[in-house]
Structure 1
Amino acid sequence: MEWIYYDSKTGNVERFMQKVAELTGWSVCKIQPDMDAVQEGHLVTFTTRFGEVPETTKRFLHHASPYLLSVSSSGNRNWGQNFAIAGDKIATEYGIPLALKFELSGTNEDINEFIAIIKARRHHGNKRGSKELDFAQ
């Protein structure tokens, strides 16, 4: 059983996570103010403004980062270099492997790829810090 913590403002990440949960039965938990991670898991967030990590995600990371095994982020390709860059920033600052970057609420292919990436981490025994997950482009 996987745990996924997610942050969503406009509903894009929430729609992505609902589809993942429907297909896998994994536990998905929307980040709330002052929330801590209760299990090791993965983070999925969005990119806000002109390439920033959301404040709610930053607050969650402050205490939860040691429990996070990967980060994925949503964005809009209209922002060019800043597309889903929140994931890159979190990966760099916290040393959490970047798993996937997807546009808006993702496609079916994005959802299947996310599931495969998370499953592969378990099957190959990857631990946090492994560069094996860092193939998001």
Structure 2
Amino acid sequence: MRIAFYSMTGNVRRFIKGSRLETQYELYEITEANKNDKFPGPFVLVTSTYGFGGVPGAVESFLEVNHTGLVAVASSGNRNWGSNFAKAGEHIQEQYRVPLLMKFELHGTDKDRESFKEKVGSFHESIGREEVQSY
């Protein structure tokens, strides 16, 4: 399992680093330089929200190339935007028909990071069972 993330202002990067996942999962930061590169799945995407609830352009480009490996999404935002809070995650959930793991504000809290680790761990276990189990 891999975790791809995009951080526009540094909040998502801080959330990912604070989650201390680098020993368990491959972490991949989406940038303008690599947004069109092929990234092998399966992966969970963590993204910030742009403007009034939009998906950042770099993330849209990344998903055009890599959407087949996407298994879930989480998004960051600011509650000051009301109903548009972390809305990028909802847009990606709807477009690619994947679960929205969670929304968190800015760089998240310790509780948010623990919740994220548990949810990613559950997806990782499920994917591992699917790969081993024969039908």
How would you bin the TM-score normalised by the shorter chain? Answer: 0.7 to 0.9
Tell me the TM-score normalised to structure 1 length. Answer: 0.84
Residue 22 of structure 1 and its aligned partner are, at CA, apart by: 5.0
Residue 18 of structure 1 and its aligned partner are, at CA, apart by: 1.1
Q: Which runs of 5+ in 2 are unaligned?
A: 131-135
Q: Is the 8 A contact 1:46 1:54 kept in 2?
A: yes
Q: Is the 8 A contact 2:4 2:43 kept in 1?
A: yes
Q: Is the 8 A contact 1:8 1:45 kept in 2?
A: yes
Match of 2:25 in 1: 26
Distance 1:29 1:17 in 2: 10
Q: Is the 8 A contact 1:21 1:27 kept in 2?
A: no
Q: Alpha carbons of 1:44 and 1:93: their partners in 2 closer, same or farther (altered >3 Å)? A: same
Distance 2:77 2:26 in 1: 23
Q: Which runs of 5+ in 1 are unaligned?
A: 128-137
Specify the structure having the higher radius of gyration (Cα).
Answer: 2
Q: Deviations over 1:37-71 (max 9, x none)?
A: 12311100010111100000000000111101100
**Counterpart mapping for 1:33-52 below 5 A:** 33-52=35-54
Q: Is the 8 A contact 2:2 2:44 kept in 1?
A: yes
Q: Is the 8 A contact 2:35 2:59 kept in 1?
A: no
RMSD: 1.8
The ranges of structure 1 where at least 4 consecutive aligned residues each deviate by more than 4 angstroms after the TM superposition are: 124-127
Match of 1:77 in 2: 79
Match of 1:133 in 2: none
Distance 1:73 1:23 in 2: 19
Match of 1:98 in 2: 100
Match of 1:135 in 2: none
Corresponding residue pairs, total: 126
Q: Is the 8 A contact 1:43 1:70 kept in 2?
A: yes
Residue 124 of structure 1 and its aligned partner are, at CA, apart by: 4.5
SS of structure 1 residue aligned to 2:20? helix
Q: Is the 8 A contact 2:36 2:65 kept in 1?
A: no
